Structure 1
Amino acid sequence: MTAVVEVSRLTKSYRDVTAVDDVSFAIEAGKIYGLLGRNGAGKTTLMQMITAQAFPTSGELRVFGESPFENNRVLSRICFIKESQKYPDNYRVADVLDLCSDLFPNWDRDFADRLVEVFRLPPKRQMRKLSRGMLSSVGIVAGLASRAPLTIFDEPYLGLDAASRSLFYELLVEDYAEHPRTVILSTHLIDEVSRILEHVIVINDGRVLIDEETDSLRNRAFTVSGATADVEAFAKGKTVLHRETLGGLASAIVVGNPGADDRQLARSLRLELDNVPLQQLIVHLTSRKSYGKEAKA
């Protein structure tokens, strides 16, 4: 598979703060990636370097096989929708879309116009008079209709209600199926997007903690629940990421993929085994008790 983004030992420091610390990974063409992590983990800094808005302190960065800095061949193939995109005060929604048609070679104006109707945007209203949700909708329209080979959304749905966010995910998947490209979603709403992510990169304290196919990541752990004593008996000798108790009941997140012996033991103890929601799994893997350092039960 062709790599759209190649990062090797990339570091970005601001005086005595290292925002991105010696990270290496590759982003392949034709996939939907989740770039995930806590606030301040280094995600935005990383995206700024990929889109040539910040220079690395050290390391190597290639986008479409070239350095992105002052390189219009590369930058014309990228659409970066930022969390708090700024617009000139006098710009209207229609002006933003006109600008996009000049910036993005693959811009689909008919699709953009349809999206404006779907998200009920007022084309003649000035951007500074839009609500937070409408501003996010304009970014979504620009990102989807750009049809850019590398499209990056950084928290693109602030201010949108659940129905509008769901609509965005549906439209993204539909258009991605018809017009394959590489999409990076940076978000804290992990469970909402987990069903559409094909690969997950988790940044924690400026470092890559997880770089894995989503299905593989889901198999990293499972939940066992039932009577407290039985859960403890099941978890004995296993690596446990998290425990919860309520009265005489308990649940535990256990590292690994349950095998036949585990399932037989769970049945004999009348325990339930289940998948761990992706967001919950990532939260525990990126907690201060880092993966691999949890106590044995």
Structure 2
Amino acid sequence: MVNAAIYLRRPLLVTGNPGTGKSSLAYLVSRELGLGPVLRWPVTSRTALKDGLYLYDAIGRVQAAADRSPVIPADSDLGDYIHLGPLGTALLPYELPRVLLIDELDKGDIDLPNDLLNVFEEGEYDIPELVRFAARQSEMRVLTADRGGSAVVREGVVRCREFPIVIITSNGEREFPPAFLRRCLKLHVDPPDFDQLGGMVAAHFGEADGVDLARLITDFLERSGQLGGLASDQLLNAVHLATQLATSGAFQSDTDWNDLLKAIWHPLSAELE
């Protein structure tokens, strides 16, 4: 599915329960293909398309104008106040595609998925603040979403050379418009099974001496089934605590331990509280 998304130049919509590793896929793809740091765009209820493209600090530029020498042209420092967001940075003309993670899109405004469609289709966007000055200064260096990064924008237009690898995650809190779904490839991540959870625990804790891992994983899967799904990190928290208790030799009764597990393995849905 990842390869298909790359070949077809389409976003990959990754769905599944919280804690199943949806976001990790972006970092895996970037590492396996050697594509550099992942550009992560976390979505909230107030997120708008422009937040992902770029931000223009007009107030900061006005405040700095008081100290500017009258000899310096008014638009010479414009790029210092334009900061490309994760989406805007991903669409720069890189030789190799960047990996863009749009995290939890289902938390965003209902119009955001449709607002993304045109950008995905065209692979470019305008920065009006730079377009107005393009006749006088065709190139402008702006800040990017990479730490300490910058890039040159020509004629006020950002146009990708290689379409970014866009991975969008969703916890299924709401449905997306059909037009948006038609332009995405969809991948559902199932909850990890016993063997996969065992591999995760082994990767983090090794043998975890003094802890009955098989029993703990079995109990976790049973409680996860009762509560409609728990996150993998809730199991890791329990293993970490059990390991610390076993190492310190702290006494615990079965009742106390079960109470601790109930607190750690709490429901992810408020309806089940």
Using structure 1 for the length normalisation, give the TM-score: 0.32
Larger Rg: 2
| Higher relative contact order (CA closer than 8 Å, sequence separation 6+) | 2
Higher helix share: 2
Using structure 2 for the length normalisation, give the TM-score: 0.34
Higher strand share: 1
